[in-house]
Amino acid sequence: MSANTPRHSPGTRQEAAQLLSRTARDLPTGRHEHHKERLMAHIEQTQRTQEAPRATTPRRLRLSRPAIALPALAAAVAATVIAGTALTGGGSGNGPVRLATGPALTTEIGATSPHGVTRLLDQASLTTARDAHPTPRPGQYIYIASKTADTFVRTDHDHTSLASHALHDRQVWYSPDGTKGWLIDPAVNDSPEGETLSLPDEQGNTPVAGLNHPSYDYLAKLPTDPDALLAKIYKETAGHGNSPDQEAFTTIGDLLGESYPPPALTKALFKAAAKIPGVVTVNDAVDAVGRHGTAVARLDDTSGQREEWIFDKNTHVFLGKRTIQVGKASGPEHLIKPGTILFTSAITQRAIVDDIKQVPAQNS
């Protein structure tokens, strides 16, 4: 873990450390954006009343949702690249992605329809069933590559603006039992070599796998009956997020994003999502690398943000996710205007490899 955390007073730093000690080692791409920058912005806001003005850069943190029981901090502040056009000040994964201030790119807010959700998710289920899905063996690693970008509210002295990490590569490896792993993401760690996700963590904790930090072995044991699965998700996420329905939808989206659920579970996740009230379709949505697709989406009425799961229009393969500011934001997020794409990701490869930090091309 790189030591670029802003310096806080001992009390504030201790509170943050206690909070972080309860978190998982890694969170699916995108979901950590829902909390991390807001938490640090909250800490910085408190610190500005105690210290002289100075420039601050929020530390990129991976926080699990159970550790953040702060509804006011639940808004995602992220942004995107449209059709492969990078945000200013960025990179391509060959070193730290520099922070950049300025307005985020925007898009027209696509019209939604309450119809077609079940049909689209059923088609995606059929695609999943046809795809090759090898079962990882002990000693092997699940490899997931993606491209992602985000924007957050940044404070320099007394000036607040939007800052963004440009489109960049993200690679993650983790063992089937979830105890070993590696992450390369220049928006999270300054080293191009990345950082370990192996347990125990820096505080000596070994988190138990769960919905918020799932291992393959954990996913393989989840119920594949959609009703039972959805009931479990509602029960285990109770009290988190802005509403039970939105939290359930986001949790399923996490599992579809940066994890490797068995085909039977993926099918159950799709069918469970179709049962959540408020889920709609969006006729046209664009992932982080500019691929157009049809989306299944849900609007968070509290934050005004809409999460979209994007599927190829013809093959119905899952492409990635994005979050759009649809309603008016308030508080520190007032700079994020409706039509801003808050977060974007595109899954580019999933595979089973024989060693940590090995990419599929090297796997004989």
Please tell me whether residue 31 adopts helix, strand or coil conformation: helix
DSSP state of 106: B
Task: Please report, rounded to a whole number, the percentage of residues in the chain having pLDDT higher than 70.
Answer: 70
pLDDT at 29: 40
Q: Are 81 and 151 in contact (CB under 8 A)?
A: no
Total number of domains in the chain = 1
pLDDT at 132: 84
Q: Could you tell me if residue 76 is inside a domain?
A: yes
For 179-210, write each residue's pLDDT tens digit. Answer: 999 999 988 888 889 999 998 888 888 888 99
Q: Could you tell me if residue 52 is inside a domain?
A: yes
For 309-337, write each residue's pLDDT tens digit. Answer: 999 999 999 999 999 999 988 887 888 88
Q: Could you tell me if residue 1 is inside a domain?
A: no
For 88-97, write each residue's pLDDT tens digit. Answer: 333 343 444 5
The pair of three-digit structure tokens given for residue 205, joined into one six-digit string: 């904790």
Q: What is the number of other CB atoms lying within 10 angstroms of the CB of residue 280?
A: 18
The dihedral built from the CA positions of residue 159, 162, 167 and 170, taken in this order, carries a sign that is: positive
pLDDT at 105: 67
Q: Could you tell me if residue 167 is inside a domain?
A: yes
pLDDT at 333: 82
Q: Are 293 and 312 in contact (CB under 8 A)?
A: yes
- Residue 299 to residue 311: CA distance in whole angstroms: 18
Angle among Cα 139, 142, 144 to the nearest 5 degrees reads 155
Q: Could you tell me if residue 291 is inside a domain?
A: yes
Q: Could you tell me if residue 133 is inside a domain?
A: yes
pTM greater than 0.85: no
Q: Can you spell out the DSSP letters for 259-311?
A: S---HHHHHHHHHHHHTSTT-EEEEEEE-TTS-EEEEEEEEETTTTEEEEEEE
Range of the domain at 150: 10-362
Q: Could you tell me if residue 4 is inside a domain?
A: no
- Residue 174 to residue 250: CA distance in whole angstroms: 22
Q: Could you tell me if residue 297 is inside a domain?
A: yes
More confident: 16 or 109: 109
Q: Which single residue is written with the structure tokens 């953040």?
A: 68
